Every structure is written in structure tokens, then in C-alpha cells.
A and B are shown apart, each in its own frame.
Chain A
Amino acid sequence: MTLAEVRRGERFNIKYIPDDLVRVQALRFGISEGAVLSCHEKVPGGPVIIKRNLQEIAVGRNLASNIIIEKEN
């Protein structure tokens, strides 16, 4: 599934980020393929806000729909 489909409060694992530049920028913020994150908030139709510890990152909806994730239980 994609990051755009995740629901608020769910924990997930990033599998794949498509764009090179985005991947590099995400790495600097603390999001890497394999990282376990949680969905902090979803703005309706807008960005998905993900969280790792206290770090929050807003990911535009379009970008989110290109990021492949796997739900963690």
C-alpha cells in the first residue's frame, strides 16, 4: 500500500521512495527505507504528517501516494 492510504495513528515501515532527490532529502529528515514511523495526522485531501519520535514531517498527498509502505502491527 502507499503512504496516502495510511490512517491516523497507524505505524508503518517505509518500503520504497521513488524520486532520487526526495529520497535524499527524506534521509536527512530521518525517513529512510526500512524506518518505522507513525501517521501523526492526515489533512483531508492534503499532506500526510508522519512522525518518528518527536520529529514530524509533512509529506504532500501526491508524493505520499508514490511512497510504498507496509503496515506494522
Chain B
Amino acid sequence: MTRLPALTGALCTVLILAGCTSVAPDGLRSDVARHTQGRLPAGTELPSPATAAGPQADAPAGTATAALDPASPHPAHHAAQVDAWLAQPVDADTAVRIAVLNNPGLQAQLAQLAAQDAARAQSLTLINPSLTLGRFTNAHERELEREIGLGIVDLITLPWRARWQGWQMERATLETAQAVLRLAADARRAWLNAVAAQQTLQAHARLHDAAVAGGELARRMAAVGNFSQLQQARELRVQQDAAAQLARARLAAALAREDLTRTLGLWGPQAMALRLPAQLPPLPRAEDLRPGDAAEATALRERLDVRALRRDLDTTADRLGVARVGALFGDMGLSHSRNTSTERDSGHREQTRGWELTLPLPLFDWGGSASAAARAELDRSAARLRDTALRARSEARSHWLRYRTAWDLAHQQHAEVLPTAQFMQDEAVLRYNGMFISTWDLLAQARSTTLAVAQATDAVRDFWLAEVDLQLALTGTSPDGAASAPRDVALTTSTPTREGH
């Protein structure tokens, strides 16, 4: 047993390394939180793992609803927190907080991250040594074979593998953090769309009321003989148009709200309890806008997708160095055997002890293909990093441009278009006072003023949407192309239709 110290030393190393392989108790959530820190509104917290929820005693037992309740597998304090947030009209930041805490899709992703972490830990655990026992007899002797074997390539490559797996987990964590940021952006977009749609709906309700009043006045005009039925029908058309637009605006508002509650992971009474502010946040002042000059540098420094790919590149570069070794010594094994043979007749016992090292002969595979694959992998990784960096720079520029233009447009709506519309309405009232135009002309002008208000709302919404995208493009990840396009549902319903006159 004099060789034991060496073996003991090796085993100690293995054990130390194996210590690194323990599963993170919070499923890496704190690592995700570290990446999203400063990129989310203050007070945003990731949901605790479902397993920490404890007994689900508070959920009504035995009902299908309880099983379907998305909130039930979570600690009671989550639900209480969401309820507390829902007690007030929900602003954009709170919407993000609710979504991050409450969105089941994100919870699934976090759970997957935890599962990946567990898998990583498992993969770093050494394969158990094998013990081979054999008993062979012939006419003369009885032979007992005891062999303890250990695949040592696992052991040799353990430090590398631990490092790669660590990097891989960091990459997965970064990707999950990006998912968190994307969800936050989705929540902001859904919130902006819902508030804007609600505001547009109010404008359309006012329009409809006025059109109904005009239609009713026209009906009374016809009733006393002052309007022909054709004239009345023209005003009726205005009313019908307004009703159709109101229906569309109502649908758009309902869909936008539905989108928001879905993103926030709300349902049932919580979805009912969700209240929104009456108006979008006001436009920031020009001097408070983000400057565009540092956009590219910020994106390259801050973006998590760029970081993740840089980590990829590190991993593949590291892996290239050992690829050949791995290929050559893939089946390397170490075993220690102690064989006892006993002469049946004499009872003479003979023992054989020895080490056995199994080495593959690199006769056919000299590891060339493996290293070529690793090199290609490295190239791919580098190219992907370059590609993403390129995209990050371009997105930083283009989203800043969209952000700035959206501000200019919204500012123009508020500083120029709305005052002009208001002035036109005031002048129309003056013309009505002087009996230059009729009540219906006045109502038509009022409708166009209200539409201008609705369009100004859309412009403010588009600015904030652009702001969400820019924020994501600068510090998070690539904004989803489809989602970042301005949603024109409300806008298409607010096409001015001035009938007659």
C-alpha cells in the first residue's frame, strides 16, 4: 500500500474539483440578477425558485383551478407583492417589476437555467471507478481476479471541463439575463400600448358622442323639415363611421390590455384589478434626451449578448488547445488488479498485483479532425462575435436615430400640431359664432382636433417604444425586430374621415 499516497493525492484533487461541481442553491438567479442589475427599475426582483414555495396548503386543494393557477406554485409573498403593486395604477416600472416576478415564461426559463446548472454539476462528477471481480477454475487451479479501474481522461481533463462548464453556465446565465431584459422590454411595450390604446379609446368615445349629437340634431332637423333625408343621411354616415371607429378603438384597447396582462402573468381577479394611468408619461425635455455620440461604445461595453459571445470565444479558444489531447487519449484508462491463483491440488496460492494503463494507439485518428472541428468552432465563434458586435453597433446607431426622430415627431405633435389644431378649432367656434359655418362643420372640425389629439398620443407612445428599444439595444440585447416596429393598430383606426361639408 505504499503507492497509496499518490492515489490519495489524485483523489483529493478530484474531490476538490468535485467541490466546484455543487449545484447553486438558488438556480443561478443571483447571477442573473447581477447581470440585470442597473438595467431594471429599482425594486425588481426575480422570482424565488418554485421548490422554495413550501407546501401549497393555501391553494384550494383538489380543484383543477388550483392546478392551473399560475401564481400557486410560488411563495405567498409573491402574490401579496403583486397584489400590493396592483393596488395602485400600474406605471411602466411597476409593470416591469410585476412581469419579472410573475411571468411564467420567465419562470420556465429560470427553472431551465437551474436544470442546466444541475446537469453541469452532474457532468463534472467523476465516473465511478469500476471494480472487476472474476473467478476462473480449471482442473489445476482456481483463479480469482480483482481489478479496480478508473477512466483517467475524465480526471485529467477535469480542470478544463470545469472551466468550460463554468463558462458555459455563465453564458447561459447571460442568456437568461437577456431574456429577463427582453421580458422587461416586452412589459414596457405592452404597458405603453395599453395606456396609449386606452387614451385613444377615450378620444374615440368623445368623437362618437359628438357624432351621435350631430346625428341626432340632423334627425331633428329632418323631422321639422329643415333637412332632406339625403342631408340627414350624410350626418348619419358620420355617426356610423364614428361608431365603427369606436368599436375598433375598443377592440384595440382590449387587445392591448390583454397583451399586457399576459406579459405580466396576471389572470382572473388580478387581471381585473389591473388599473392603468389615464395618460402616457409626458415627453422628456430635449436636454434630458440621451446623447447619441456614446451609443456605439455603450452598446459594445454593456450588451449582454456581446458578452455572452465573447465568453463563447474564450471557451472555444481554450478548447482548441486540448482537442488533440482529448482525441488521442480519449479512451485512456488506469486500472489496478490483484489476481490470486490457487493450485487446487497443493493449495499453493500465488498473487499477482499490477497496474494496467490502457492507451489508445493514434494509428488512424491522430486527432486532426477533432482539432479541425475545434478550430472551425473557434472561427465560428469569432465570426459570431464580430457579427453581433457589428449588429450591436448598428443597432445602437439606428435605434438612437429612431429614438431621436420619434422624439422630434412627438414634440412636433405637441408643440406645433396640437396648438394648430386647437387654434383651428377656436377659429371654427368663432366662425360658428358669426354664422359662417354650421354646427356640423364645427363638429367636423372638432373631430379632426380630437384625431390630432389621438395622433399626438400615438406619437408619444412611439417615442417611449423607441426609448424601450434603444435602452435594450444599448445595454441588453438586440431588440426583437418585429416587436420594436411601431404598432399601428390605433393609428389606422384614427384616419381622419370628414364626411360631406
Does B associate with A? no
Q: What residues make up the interface of A, taking CB atoms closer than 8 Å to B?
A: none
